[in-house]
Amino acid sequence: MDQRPHLVVVEDEPAQRQLLVDYLSKQNFRVSGAENGTALRRLVERDAPVLVLLDIGLPGEDGFTLARWIRERSGRIGIIMVTASGDTVDRVVGLETGADDYIAKPFDPRELLARVKSVLRRTTGAAPKTSGRVRIGRRVLDLDQRLLIDPADGREETLTASEFDLLKVFVENPNRPLNRDWLLEVTAHREMEAFDRAIDLRVTRLRKKIEADPSHPDAIRTVRGVGYMFVPPKD
């Protein structure tokens, strides 16, 4: 029996669907293609995938409807929404329906692969822990109580919802450059403040709380032309 992780690509355009199936198959995944919701449902019923790459703009049942159906069936199936639109609303609605991530067309296949691997690390349990405590800069992030702790004196500092969401995304994706727009959108569905405060301002605010020297950050580093990256301490 083929033990490779099973992915499903839902795309109504045959050539594009086959390109994605072929590319992901070469990356040591077992990949099935589906042209619409009916085909997806048959695949999920017969052989549940670990991740679905789901085009939003499908004829008939759109990607939002199918994402809701998948999420109602299982919280363990990873969902990456694919959109041709640059509209933030589409992406945020996708996340609100239960998707784990999104990627906009046209995209670099290497970026798609990185996002697939990142979602699989989280959904299959191989991701960095999302409970307990994680060292971040000069502080410790308590993921259960949603606060920062100073290990020197035990002093606790409460975080706003947007601050906690952003730090949680960082610790779930260590040593991975994260795009500013992606960071904004994956945290915006929980708190509307994210729409009217630039991600740069939020990072600056967090650096003052966690960095030994906010003007020379070690924990949340700037990646020129991309966004930011969390670098865990070596000690």
pLDDT at 199 exceeding the cut of 70: yes
Dist CA 35 CA 55 (whole Å): 10
pLDDT at 181 exceeding the cut of 80: no
Dist CA 136 CA 141 (whole Å): 7
Tokens describing residue 199 = 């991600």
- Taking a C-beta distance cutoff of 8 angstroms, is the pair 89, 77 a contact? no
What is the largest distance, in Å, between two alpha-carbon atoms of the chain? 60
Residue 131, burial from CB neighbour count under 10 angstroms (0-12, 13-18, 19+): exposed
Residue with tokens 């060292």: 135
CATH number, domain 133-230: 1.10.10.10
pLDDT at 189 exceeding the cut of 50: no
Dist CA 42 CA 159 (whole Å): 44
- Of 37 and 187, which is predicted with more confidence? 37
pLDDT at 127 exceeding the cut of 60: no
Mean pLDDT of the chain: 84
Which pLDDT value is given to residue 129?
45
CATH number, domain 6-123: 3.40.50.2300
Convert the pLDDT of each residue in 32-76 to its tens digit. Answer: 999 999 999 999 999 889 999 999 889 888 888 999 899 888 778
The residue type found at 150 is D
Which pLDDT value is given to residue 125?
53
What number of other Cβ atoms are within 10 A of residue 111's Cβ?
12
176-203: average pLDDT:
68
Band of residue 97 on the pLDDT scale cut at 50, 70, 90? confident
For 106, left (φ over 0), alpha (ψ -120 to 50), or beta?
Answer: beta
**Per-domain residue ranges of the chain:** 6-123, 133-230
The structure's pTM equals 0.55
- Taking a C-beta distance cutoff of 8 angstroms, is the pair 133, 141 a contact? yes
Count the helices and strands in the chain (H runs, E runs): 9, 12
pLDDT at 194 exceeding the cut of 60: no
Band of residue 85 on the pLDDT scale cut at 50, 70, 90? low
The residue type found at 70 is I
For 132, left (φ over 0), alpha (ψ -120 to 50), or beta?
Answer: left
- Taking a C-beta distance cutoff of 8 angstroms, is the pair 119, 169 a contact? no
Tokens describing residue 229 = 């990256």
150-154: average pLDDT:
91
Give helix 199-210 / helix 180-188 axis angle, nearest 10°. 90
